[in-house]
Amino acid sequence: MLNWLIDPIRPRYNAAPGQNLPVIRNTSPDKIHLMRWGLIPAWAKSSNHEYHLINARAETISEKNVFRSAFRGRRCLVLADGFYEWSKSQGRKTPYRITLRTETPFAFAGIWSIWTDQTETNVHSFSIITTEANSLVAEIHQRMPVILFPEDEKNWLTLPPEDGLKLLTPYPTELMQAYPVSSRVNSPKNDSPDIIKPVRVQKDRVKRLDDFF
C-alpha cells in the first residue's frame, strides 16, 4: 500500500506533455512522485528535449541510447484511468477517450530520468512506453501505451531488463472501451470533468461505440 505522497495531487482530465503527473519510481515503490511528462536525458545540454521524448517505443527501448539506460535501471509506473487518441477521417480529427471497461485506474509502463540544470536544480521526468495497438485502439490509432496488469506492476519495477521486455504487449481488446469526446480536449487549457463525457459523432464514423448511443 502507498503510504506517503511527496506532493499533493489534483484531478486532471486532460493531462499534457510538460505537466507534472503522478508516477511511482522503482527506487521508491511506496511513494507517489509528481514528475514532468517528457523525458530529459541526463546528458542533455538543455531541457528542450522535454516535448520530444514523451513516448518510448517498446520495440527499440532496449537499443536506443536515449532510452536504454533508463530502461535498465529507472523504470516507473505512470498512474492514469484513461488516455486520448485522435482518429483521422475525411480530413477531420476526432478525439477518443480510451479506458478499461471497468473504468478503474491502472498504470502505464514508463521510464524516468533526472536532469540537472545550470543552477544544479534536479528535474525529474518520464516517458510512457508504447506498443502496437490492439484491435480496438487500432481503429483509432496505430499505437497505444503499454497498460500493465496489476499483478505485473511490481514486476515491471523489479524484473531484469530481458524479462521486463516481455511485459510490453498490447492490453487485451475485450477489456477496454473507447468513446468520442469533445474537441475541447485538443487544448490542455481545458481541464474539467466535462472533458471526459461522451459526445455524439456521425454514425458512419463510429465503429465500436454502439453502447454509448
Q: What is the CATH number of the domain that holds 147?
A: 3.90.1680.10
- DSSP states along 125-164: EEEEEEEE--HHHHTT-SEEE-EEPHHHHHHHHHS-HHHH
Structure-block grid coordinates of residue 142: 496505430
Contact 182, 200 (CB under 8 A): no
Answer yes or no: is 64 within a domain: yes
Q: By residue range, what is the domain housing residue 141?
A: 4-82+102-172
pTM value surpassing 0.85: yes
> How many distinct structural domains can be found in the chain?
1
Helix (H, G, I), strand (E, B) or coil at 171: coil
The model's pLDDT over 119-177, given as tens digits with 9 standing for 90+, comes to 778 889 999 999 999 999 999 999 999 999 999 999 999 999 999 999 999 999 999 99
For strands 122-132 and 31-37, give the pairing.
Answer: parallel
